[in-house]
Structure formats: C-alpha cells, structure tokens
Amino acid sequence: MIDFKALAKQYGTPLYVYDFDYMSAQYTQLKEAFRGRKSIIAYAVKANSNLSVVQHFAKMGSGADCVSIGEVRRAFLAGIPAYKIIFSGVGKNDDEIREAIEKDILYINVESEAELQRVEAIAKELGKVSRISIRVNPNIDPQTHPYISTGLHDNKFGVDLLSAKRMYIQANNSEYLDPVGIHFHIGSQLTQLQPIREAAEIVADLIRSLQAIDIELKFFDIGGGLGIKYDDEVTIEPYDYAQAILGTLRALDLTILCEPGRFLTANAGYFLTKVLYEKQNGDKKFVVVDGGMNDLLRPSLYNAYHKIEAITENNGQTREVDIVGPVCESGDFFAKNYPLPALNRNDLLVVHSAGAYGFGMGSNYNTRGRSAEICVEDSKARLIRRRESFEDLICLEQEFLVE
C-alpha cells in the first residue's frame, strides 16, 4: 500500500506518484502474451515521458515508440538502443527526419506519400538508406472516444490500402529507402477485441499481396491502444489480444512490434491534490483544491472519468460536489457531481489512473509551475522530477526584458 498522506507531507502537492512495480507487472504480462513469437514491446513515450519512467522500461528490455525527435532523444538518454526505437507521427519536419536517419533508428513510420518523398530526398542528401514502415489506415471503427480514434478515413493518420501498396512499390524501387515494416493503430483505450482482429486481418492480407510482388517485410507493428479500467470498463486480456493478432498471421514470419503506453502506466499513476476549502453557490457545492487543469487536463479535455479517493477523517454521508481547481477557466475541474463526504482544509484527494497522459499534457497556464513527480519502487519513494519554480518559468524570457 502506498502511504499517500506521508508522500504529500514529504513532497507537497500537487504531486504525481508512479508505482514502478505495477508498471513492471504490466510490461511482463504483455511480453509473456506474445511468448513464442519474435516480438518487441516498444513503450509509447507520449503516455508518460519522464526519463526515469522510460529508463525503467529500458531496463526491462523495452523499445520506444516516439512521436517527436524530442521523444527520440529521451529514448536514447534513457538507454534504449537505436535498433528498438521507431519514429511515428503525421507532421515530422525535415530536421526531425534528418536526425532520425542519422541516428540509424529501427525505422520511421511514414504517414503519407508526401512524407515518403521527403524521407527519400533527405536520405539521398545524406547518402544513407532509411528503413521505413508505412502506417496503414484500415478504416475500422475502434469504438472508442472520437478524440482518440485513429483508424478511420476521417482521421488524420495513415494512408488507405491502395496508397500504401503504391508507396511500398515506390520504396522498394528506391536505392535510399528500405521498407521493413507495416504499421496500424486504430485508436486508444480499446476495449473491444473484434475491431483489432478485423484491422489486423486487413493489414495481414496486404502483406500477403506485397509478398506476391516480392516485397518482403520484417515487422508487423500493431500499434498500441489496449484499454484499461478507469471505472467499470470490461477490458481485453493481453493473452486474448495477442491470440487475436497472431491468428491473422497464418504462415507469415514477422516480428510483432507492440506500442503500449496507457496499458503500462495509467493505473500505476496517482495525482495528489490538497483541499483548500469548500464553497457553496446556491444549490451547487464545490470542493476547491490546489491542483488544476494545467496539472491534469483529461477531465476538461475529454470529460474523462477518474476515480477520486478522499483521505479524510470524516467518513460521513457523501454528497455530490464539483471538484475544481484554481485556474481561471470554467473548464478547470476534475469531476462534476462526484460523491464525496464533507471535507476539511488540507484533506487529500487522490485521483486514480493518472499515470498516462497526465503530467505530459500539463502546462504553465496562469504561470503555474508544474507538479513534482515521484516513483515508488520496492516500497521506497524517490523524486524523479522536482517541482517547477517561478524562476524555471521565466528563464527563457527574462533576458529579453527591455530596460
């Protein structure tokens, strides 16, 4: 059990707490699900990019799925080898592509014909061969939140099947491109197995059609998106997930590349915030806390649900309250009409499932320093990012003040 009260007292609030032992267990469970097949688990750095988190997975043998050159650099700093790093994302600029090629990462996930042309041109400039994968959009409804759906034609990601085949032929004929993989990712927080199976089947059939014209791929990149429990979701077991994918690959000798993020970190993370006071406006009751939407944006951005636990000596009858922060926006809330007992100043609220897309989506809005981050491993806590100071916030601006 994590002693949240002691951690809040030692490190202050708002505060992110990550359970590294839980992350290890999740990673092992997913790796074991693909046992017997060549596979790389490439942690999706965007989920939680703290260097200590990335390093933790690196020590377990993980690769890294990166969506900016900054994330690629983080992966290297954390100890992930080049041959386990992939670079995805729709809008890579020339400098990012150039650096990825120079660093000789496993491959670049290409998202459009225009991008393929840029990768080829830059590789030619450098006199190098760039390994690439093409992200295929299988046009499958992932049955998830529209903001985190990525596998339909009206999403910005990937290319359709005919375009993909044309791009593979172009890449195969280029002396500066080496098509080694194929990639699909239909969305995040997936809780239905059938869309995943259908997408994998479509992409596997494309691989067979490429083999018929002597284009041999090595990597079957299934993306990530495996859902977790925030509330009462019925989730997919990793074994069933793996079997659904593997069942589509009949006789195809490919290395599976899986890009989990949320699955590894979300339920390992907690956001601690302190009660400042309660407030009544007419019939509406508010609990005002010291954390804000700049610290944890998901409730405001997606209307996402997070379980919230009160650490208080008052265990009386609950009433419905809005839990709000100090940011000057009506969207600054963690929950609305949430059942909590009466709370006193300095009571603690623990926001669960905050280990993915929490700190990383934070900001300095209202000139608020971002939270400290700590990890707990083998029952020992340590700081992995200090709390931002006012001096941190102004350090890139102060020198430009006019006398």
Residues that are catalytic: 328
Q: Give the Cα separation of 317 and 36 in Å (integer).
A: 53
Task: Outline where 154-237 has alpha helix (H).
Answer: 161-173, 193-211
Q: Assign 219 to helix, strand or coil.
A: strand
SS3 365: helix
Could you give the CA distance from residue 265 to residue 267 in angstroms, rounded to a whole number?
6
- Dump the DSSP string for 323-354: EE-SSSSTT-EEEEEEEE----TT-EEEE-S-
Residue 179: asked if its preceding bond is cis (omega within 30°), the reply is: no
* C-beta neighbour count of 60 within 10 angstroms: 15
**Distance between CA atoms of 290 and 12, rounded to whole angstroms?**
11
Q: Are 115 and 106 in contact (CB under 8 A)?
A: no
> Which pairing describes strands 319-324 and 333-340: parallel, antiparallel, or unpaired?
antiparallel
